[in-house]
Structure 1
Amino acid sequence: MLSIQLTPFPVLQTERLTLRPLTTDDAPTIRFFRSDDAFLRYIHREKEPTLEQAHRHLALLEQLLVNNEGIMWGLSPKTDQALLGTICLWNLQPAAHRAEVGYGLHPQYEKQGLMAEALAAVVRYSFEQLRLHSLEAHVDPENIASIRLLEKQGFVREGYFRESSYFQGQFLDTAVYTLLTKER
């Protein structure tokens, strides 16, 4: 079984971004991410519109990190600590050398290639530092931008689950994309 160690927190750098730990100062932006219609349009979960909920979410993320069960990076420009988005590894499966990647970017920063930079850095970290064999991503099949992002990184669609979840009175499809270390 793979031994996964996520601490000390691995700060990652890209050409334009620092992938850093989230702090309590990020709570207002986390609240936005967890309650904004545009940000959540392809994320099927109930809104969490309060600052208290954002602080609870940050505490949960900290506990996942301490337990080596997941890690979430905040995406900030190299010039300051503004939180532009997040990217995470979660659903860690050490026995299978596998993890799931998830991400989100503030709508105002879309279509600038920022998430492509962040995802490339997390893929490198996952395969080179954590020694994972594969990554997977679960995507709303209508989220064409996310699918293009994954495909540009070499992810391949492995599954399409029709009406696999139920949210707000409707059944929703899910596409699963994976990347193997030997494919990058």
Structure 2
Amino acid sequence: MNIQTEAVQLRHFIASDLAVVYQIGCEKGIAKQLNMPPFQSEHEAQSFLTMLQSDEHSWAIVSKKADAVCGLMMLAPNLAQDDVTVESYELSFAILPQYQRQGLMTSSLSAVMNAYHDDLHITKFMAACFITNQKSARCLQKVGFTTAYQTQLPDYLGGELVQYYQYNLGEKGFR
């Protein structure tokens, strides 16, 4: 699957993405929002990159203007009650600070949802962010996600309040 907009290209991760994956994982703010500890070594980044490379639903977000990987998006399938059919995907995403507030994530979210709808006929997407992560919340709302519910994470996951959002494809289609 090839996913592109005027501003970004979404492609699968490759070995030469190690440096930017390390940079993303070392950003304490990004790591916290992805609910993982910051990387302590390049070896941890390599393990994470290997995981990203093996997942067909993980995408490197490449800024066309900068010609550089600026973020990542991961989609986790949620199965329907038959435990076979994919009912929806839960989105996780991150963008390096120097690329924020340029519309790249908004463009990426819309493009991925459109591609998954067109190719896989997915009509429902979910996303979660910490209640304190207003930037991600605004980005989700900007592309049409609505508030679904809030939940408190267990203590072993940090115990923070998380807001869940959902996007259901309606008659109007995606933005």
Number of the residue aligned with 2:153: 164
Cα 1:165–1:43 change in 2 (3 A) is farther
1:74 aligns with 2:64: no
Cα 1:48–1:91 change in 2 (3 A) is farther
Which of residues 130, 140, 149 is equivalent to 2:130? 140
Residue 81 of structure 1 deviates from its aligned partner by 4.5
CA distance in 1, matches of 2:77, 2:155: 20
Alignment check: 8 A CA contact 1:97 1:131 kept: no
Q: How does 1:1-184 map to 2 (within 5 A)?
A: 10-65=1-56, 71-78=57-64, 81-93=67-79, 95-161=85-151, 163-166=152-155, 170-182=158-170, 184=174
What fraction of aligned residue pairs are identical, expressed as a percent?
21
TM-score (norm 2): 0.86
Equivalenced residue count is 168
Residue 96 of structure 1 deviates from its aligned partner by 4.8
Residue 121 of structure 1 deviates from its aligned partner by 0.2
Q: Which runs of 5 or more structure 2 residues have no equivalent in the other structure? A: none
CA distance in 1, matches of 2:63, 2:143: 21
RMSD: 1.9
Cα 1:61–1:40 change in 2 (3 A) is closer
Paired AA for residue 166 in structure 2: T
Residue 20 of structure 1 deviates from its aligned partner by 1.2
Cα 1:120–1:35 change in 2 (3 A) is same
TM-score (norm 1): 0.82
Cα 1:107–1:101 change in 2 (3 A) is same
Alignment check: 8 A CA contact 1:45 1:167 kept: no
CA distance in 2, matches of 1:84, 1:165: 31
Paired AA for residue 60 in structure 1: M
> Residue 45 of structure 2 aligns to a residue in which SS?
helix
